[in-house]
Amino acid sequence: MRLDKYICKSTELTKLEAIERINAGHVTVNNETVIIESTQVHENNCIILDSKKLKTRAFRYLLMHKPTGTICSNNDGEYPSLFNQLDIDKKSELHIAGRLDVDTTGLVLITDDGRWTYNVTRPDKHCKKTYKVGLSYSILDEQVDKLVKTFKQGIQLQGEPKLTLPATLAVISQKEVCLTITEGKYHQVKRMFAAVKNRVLSLHREKIGDVQLDVEVGKWRYLTQDEVNSFS
């Protein structure tokens, strides 16, 4: 990570204050004075600011129940940021591991550990994500088997070179299904149903890997250590 970021993560200094201290020669990395704030450092390096050895704060991992009409971004945009509902210190250090659309609700994972996010989101990990989906058009009893098979075999999405990976579809009622996918392509669930001539009216993420959404809408909680480790 960059030296200025390391200092922010291990002190109460703002980024500007950290850069000023670095540029003024107050910081050593492995006993060498470093004045360039973009210098890459590692947690194993010995980083000292004004004679004090710095240690970064422990990483944070949490889940949140995203309400509809919020965006998965640190700042407000056309819609308010999901982070407005996060009553926690130093929110700007956090990011979202796997975004949802503005009109999608449900489970969102949030952390300041970039390596962990990579494990959650990297395509080759095939991490399972389960969605409850409300549909515009009814799935008739006689269509269920064929649809389940189609989702299992993979669907050709517009503009994609390959079929989607096998997905598990469970029909709850004619207009409500549960879908588990192991990828995270742009608008993937909506595009999968568009490809079978249906339309998603509501989308709610219930589960990522072994982590189940269990807080009320707009609320959050820290992940347990087991939940954190389950993505390693």
CA 170 to chain centre: 25
The distance of closest approach from Cβ of residue 154 to ligand URA in the complex, given in angstroms and rounded to an integer, is 16
Quick one: 47 or 167, whose CB is closer to ligand URA?
Answer: 167
Crossing angle of the two packed helices 3-10 and 15-23, in degrees rounded to 10:
120
Q: Minimum Å distance from CB 228 to ligand URA?
A: 22
- Catalytic-residue membership of 145: no
Distances (CA, A) of 10 to 15, 17, 30, 56, 116: 12, 13, 16, 4, 19
Place of tokens 């250090």: 93
User: Does 187 help bind ligand URA (rule: CB under 6 A)?
Assistant: yes
Among 189, 208, 213, 223, binds ligand URA (CB under 6 A): 189
Stretch that binds ligand URA, among 76-84, 143-151, 163-171, 184-192 (CB under 6 A): 184-192
Q: Which residues pair with 181 in a beta bridge?
A: 129
Sign for the pseudo-dihedral over CA of 102, 105, 109, 112: positive
Q: Which of 76, 101, 103, 145 is catalytic?
A: 101
Residue of 3, 7, 41, 100 that binds ligand URA (CB under 6 A): 100
Active site residue ranges:
101
Q: Given the rule CB under 6 A, which residues bind ligand URA?
A: 100-101, 104, 187-190, 203
